Copies of this chain bind each other. A is one copy, B any other.
Amino acid sequence: MAPKTRWLTEEENKAWKGLTLMQFQLFALLGRELADTGLSFQDYVVLAELSDRPDNRARLNELGRQLGWEKSRISHQVSRMEQRGLVEKVRCDTDQRGWFIGMTAEGRAAIASAAPHHVATVRRCFVDLLTAQELRVLESITSKVLAELPEP
């Protein structure tokens, strides 16, 4: 028979719920602040991911992998962004199934104008509140957890 459930202790529960709540609130805040610039938080992370690349473009599935999104989500998201002129799709020459997603001039302008305030908020409401040690511990936690995640 199955072993009796080990419920979370009060400390464990507090940490887990606190984490959930913090993330949710931070995202909400960042989304609200980005709204002024005409970008959603999702738009932002896609553009940021593209910006990180030397040639400012990526395959859909790479984007999905980096962001941890399913292919369907990234596909819908990119289509919407393409409609709005933030990104463009270019057929991949070596694989006729695939596309490269590149930033348009408009996309570049959008993230360039949104980034300073966005980063300032991430600093003010998160990064700058943490000590160097807390930052290290956090990094160790996330990499450990991510490494142990079961495949979907």
Q: Point out residues on A near B: beta carbons under 8 Å.
A: 2, 5-8, 11-12, 14-16, 18-26, 28-29, 32, 67-68, 115-116, 119-120, 122-123, 125-127, 129-130, 133-146, 148-150, 152
Question: Cα distance A130–B12 when bound, in Å?
Answer: 10
Q: Contacting A138 at CB < 8 Å: which of B24, B126, B137?
A: B137
B139 touches A18 (CB 8 A): yes
Docked pose: A123 CA to B16 CA in angstroms: 10
Contact residues in B for A8 (Cβ distance below 8 Å): 119, 122-123, 127
CB-CB under 8 A from A145, the residues of chain B are: 22, 26, 125-126, 129
> Which one of A23, A119, A123, A133 has the highest number of Cβ atoms from chain B below 10 Å of its Cβ?
A23
* Contact A146 B20, beta carbon cutoff 8 Å: no
A68 to B45, CA, bound (A): 23
The 4 closest A-B pairs by CB, nearest first: A18-B142, A5-B116, A137-B137, A22-B142
Smallest CB gap from A123: residue in B = B6
Question: How many whole Å from A87's CB to the nearest CB in chain B?
Answer: 20
B149 in contact with A29 (CB, 8 Å) = yes
- Nearest chain B CB to A45's CB is how many angstroms away? 8
